[in-house]
Structure 1
């Protein structure tokens, strides 16, 4: 629970403790769960968005319509939001949601592969990691915390070195 204190007010203000508990207990997050959490943390969802399953479906629709998700995941295709999200796909969702700029390859081929490599390079993805591995709720919160910290520090600089 100490980790939750560092995530920031935006992520926690729209999510109650029972929703956070569900995410923390989840071993394999779905696209809908991940979209709900990440879009809330990025402040792309209005604060009055309902929580629970309704909020997840609203977040899934917003993420899909914004091009943050693979084509196979759509709010109009029954059950596609319940598919487990992989780490590379989560990295892509995070980079798009927080409007993070990537390197040359990411700018040419924005997608899970290069977004994973970019967040890995920035040391925002904890070890062990693989872009094809499923994501747990704890990993989602750790990565989101790292991204919020990174974006909150002097425009992404650490030790005077621009990332």
Structure 2
């Protein structure tokens, strides 16, 4: 009887040990799968972050290229506008004239035109110092006095910064 109890105890111990081994094996498998899942999620996050950063960079490059193209186009159309060299008109002394002779001024800087200065002649026939009005036209694309578009209708409302 005692022998039988010992045999049964060893069998039960063997079965328990076998169960314990299979539970331990299952635990390690679950732990391995959890680590694998964590790795997959981490790699997916890194890749998606990389894709987002690349897409934003690419979008910025396209916008920069478009602005550069538009600025070049505006500069090309600006350089096509007429210029002239200012020559102060000869004033004749007329004793009957009571009004003082009016001097020509640039409406942007309010300075008088001097001989041999380069003036920009806009399509509306207003004239300004070229160095004064060109930066204005790059930003506004209109005449500072009458607000008429001076570069044509193409891209009229685009401001290049």
TM-score of the aligned structures, taking structure 2 as reference length: 0.19
Relative contact order (C-alpha < 8 Å, sep 6+): which is higher? 1
Larger radius of gyration: 2
TM value normalised by structure 1: 0.19
Tell me which protein shows more strand as a share of its residues: 2
